[in-house]
Structures are given as structure tokens and as C-alpha cells.
């Protein structure tokens, strides 16, 4: 069984504490692999256009929403379960002068605090791997979309070579993922909840893990240590887990996927 006992509380502890700062240090405020280029590729696949109204499920710091608002003039609502992330997203959005277009709600995306049929698109970037009940998440995505609405997301997934139970347990426990889906797993959940799958493709991953490891060991070491309270042993232990994941990525056992679906009806 590749499921861990990770709960939403464990995930909130990560994003309410120093681990989130560590991820922001290596990835930037868009806490996903590939940053802006990944977001623009997702937006292009999804056909995001001016005037659309969207919801970012697991919006974190809201950086993806600000990018979409700047680039396409969309209006969006962000939902995230970690209070610290929602407060910081509001603060940064205010500073960017985008508070008229973007709003944030604290909540669990498996019971999202938004009305039925409210949105043209649902957005998610490298975050749904953290969600315990992925079936309910996709059901919520379908509920909040208008007919013909689009769900567009990237996610960390099990790769084509597959993970053994032990490998999955080690990576999921380190990352605080309850479990990871696969390309086929996400496509099946989308179909189950009434989406026509337009895209389900593997996208770059290993190259980014290489990049993060290189930055942490050659440029950002003292910044990372400061975030971890100068705990050298913790830094090294986390480094060993990242290295394990890097090797799994190069072996095709863990990767990322991009998914676009259209709500039927
Ligand atoms: C990797 S971050 C998301 C990064 C963001 N999409 C971006 O590209 O910048 C993961 C986020 O998912 C949120 N999260 C995880 N499970 C959640 C749930 N069930 N409901 C709401 N938010 C959740 C966490 O609080 C965290 O802010």
C-alpha cells in the first residue's frame, strides 16, 4: 500500500512553518517546479483568457494567481487550508495592487468554501499531491465549475517505472504527501467526475530536483541552515531525502504531470 498516514494537520504544519520558507528559498514564491514557465504552459494548454473567473485550489502564497491576473486579466479566488499562507497571500496581493481582482479564503479544498457553478476554470499547481482525499477534490472541482468549465493542474506523480512500497513510503513521508497519483490515476478520477480529459502528459521534473540540490549545496547553504535554526544534522538528513528523490526522479519512478479537463454538459 503506497498510502501514508499523513493528514491535513501535518501538511498545515509544513506550510505554517520553516519548511515552507525552505521551499520558497529554492523555488521562489511560486512554490512549484518550473515557476512562471510551467504556469504559462499550463495556461496555454487550458486556454486561459481575459475576463475568465477562476479558483486556485491550494493557492499557497497566491503567486500563480498574481501571474495570471497580470498576464491575462483574470479574476480569481484562492483557497488554502494554511492560515499563514492565506494571510501572506493577501498581504502580497495588496502590495501588488491586485486586491480588486484576487481574493483568498481559508478552507479545505475537499469541502471548498465556494458556490456551485461559480467558475470558468479551476487551477492547481504541484499541490494536489498533498490532498488526502483526491476523489473528493476532483468532485469539488466539478461542482464549482460552470458546464464547459476547465480544470487545469500540474502535480507530482508516480513515474512510468513505478515506486516500490518502501520507496513510495520514504518519499511521501518526507514530502508529507498522503499519496501520489499517476498519469492514468488522475485521468481516471477526472473521467469519473464528468470531465473530458484534454491533456494528461508527463512534464519535466528530474532537472528541477538537480537544480534545487545544486542551489542548496553551492549557493544557498547558509540561508537554508538559518531557516532550519542552524541545525546541521537536520539539513543533512533533509539533503539525504532530497538525494533519494533525485535518484528516483532520474530513474523515472517519480515525475510531474500536466492535466487539463473540460466539464461535460
Ligand atoms: C506546494 S504548495 C502550493 C503551491 C502553489 N500552487 C504555487 O504554485 O505556488 C501546497 C499548498 O497546498 C495547501 N493544501 C494542502 N492540502 C490542502 C487542502 N486539503 N485544502 C486546502 N489547502 C491544502 C497547503 O496549505 C499549501 O499551501
Comparing 1-5, 21-25, 160-164, 197-201, the range with the smallest average pLDDT is: 1-5
105 burial (CB, 10 Å; 0-12 / 13-18 / 19+) is middle
Ligand 1 atom closest to 137 (CA): 19
Does 32 contact ligand 1 (Cβ within 6 A)? yes
| Distance between Cα 135 and ligand 1 center (Å) | 16
Taking only the tens place, the pLDDT of each residue in 231-256 is 999 999 999 999 999 999 999 999 99
- Name the residue of 8, 58, 144 to mutate for ligand 1: max ligand atoms within 8 A of Cβ: 58
Residue 89 to residue 8: CA distance in whole angstroms:
19
Tell the residue number behind the cell numbers 499563514, with chain if given: 84
In the chain, DSSP finds a helix count (H) and a strand count (E) of 11, 7
Please give the Cα distance from 34 to 38 (Å, whole number). 5
- What pLDDT sits at residue 265? 80
Instruction: Give the number of C-alpha atoms closer than 13 A to the C-alpha of residue 132, restricted to the C-beta side.
Output: 13
Going from the C-alpha of 109 to that of each of 8, 112, 113, 187, 196, the distances in angstroms are 11, 5, 8, 19, 21
Instruction: Summarize pLDDT for 144-154 with one digit per residue, the tens.
Output: 999 999 999 99
Over the stretch 163-174, which tens digit does the pLDDT of each residue have? 999 999 999 999
Q: What sign for the dihedral angle of Cα 232, 238, 244, 247?
A: negative
Output the CA torsion 192→195→196→199 (10° steps).
-100
| Domains of the chain and any CATH numbers | 8-261 (3.40.50.150)
Q: To test ligand 1's pocket by mutation, which of 80, 108, 122, 129 has the most ligand atoms within 8 angstroms of CB?
A: 80
On the question of pLDDT at 74 being above 60, the answer is yes
Of the pLDDT bands very low, low, confident and very high (cuts 50, 70, 90), residue 4 is very high
Measuring CA to CA, which residue among 170, 153, 12 is closest to residue 82? Answer: 12
Question: Taking residues 27-35, what's their average pLDDT?
Answer: 98
R_g of the chain, CA atoms, integer Å: 18
* Gap from CA of 131 to ligand 1 centroid (Å): 8
CA distance 18 to 39: 25
Bridge partner residues of 76 (DSSP)? 54, 102
Number of the ligand 1 atom closest to the C-alpha atom of 125: 6
pLDDT band of residue 89 (cuts 50, 70, 90) is very high
Given a cut of 50, whether residue 130 has pLDDT beyond it is yes
Q: Is 232 exposed, middle or buried (0-12, 13-18, 19+ CB in 10 A)?
A: exposed
From the CA of 209, how far away is ligand 1's center (Å)? Answer: 19
Confidence of residue 18 (pLDDT cuts 50, 70, 90): very high
What does the pLDDT read at residue 1? 45
Q: Is the CB of 82 under 6 A from ligand 1?
A: yes
Amino acid at each position: 500500500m503506497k498510502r501514508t498516514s499523513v493528514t491535513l494537520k501535518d501538511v498545515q504544519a509544513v506550510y505554517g512553518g520553516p519548511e515552507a520558507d525552505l521551499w520558497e528559498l529554492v523555488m521562489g514564491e511560486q512554490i512549484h517546479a518550473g515557476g512562471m514557465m510551467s504556469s504559462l504552459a499550463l495556461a496555454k494548454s487550458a486556454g486561459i483568457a481575459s475576463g475568465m473567473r477562476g479558483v486556485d485550489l491550494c493557492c499557497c502564497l497566491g503567486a500563480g494567481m498574481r501571474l495570471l491576473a497580470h498576464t491575462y486579466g483574470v479574476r480569481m479566488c484562492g483557497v488554502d487550508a494554511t492560515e499563514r499562507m492565506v494571510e501572506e497571500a493577501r498581504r502580497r496581493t495588496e502590495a501588488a495592487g491586485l486586491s480588486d481582482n484576487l481574493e483568498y479564503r481559508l478552507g479545505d479544498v475537499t469541502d471548498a468554501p465556494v458556490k456551485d457553478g461559480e467558475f470558468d476554470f479551476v487551477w492547481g499547481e504541484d499541490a494536489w499531491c498533498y490532498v488526502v482525499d483526491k476523489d473528493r477534490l476532483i468532485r469539488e472541482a466539478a461542482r464549482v465549475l460552470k458546464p464547459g468549465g476547465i480544470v487545469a493542474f500540474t502535480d507530482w506523480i508516480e513515474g512510468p517505472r513505478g515506486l516500490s512500497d518502501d520507496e513510495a513510503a520514504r518519499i511521501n513521508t518526507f514530502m508529507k504527501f498522503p499519496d501520489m497519483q499517476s498519469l492514468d490515476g488522475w485521468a481516471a478520477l477526472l473521467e469519473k467526475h464528468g470531465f473530458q480529459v484534454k491533456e494528461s502528459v508527463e512534464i519535466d521534473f528530474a532537472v528541477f530536483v538537480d537544480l534545487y540540490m545544486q542551489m542548496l549545496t553551492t549557493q544557498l547553504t547558509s540561508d537554508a541552515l538559518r531557516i532550519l535554526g542552524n541545525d546541521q544534522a537536520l539539513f543533512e538528513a533533509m539533503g539525504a531525502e532530497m538525494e533519494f528523490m533525485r535518484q528516483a526522479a532520474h530513474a523515472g519512478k517519480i515525475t510531474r504531470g500536466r492535466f487539463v479537463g473540460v466539464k461535460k454538459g
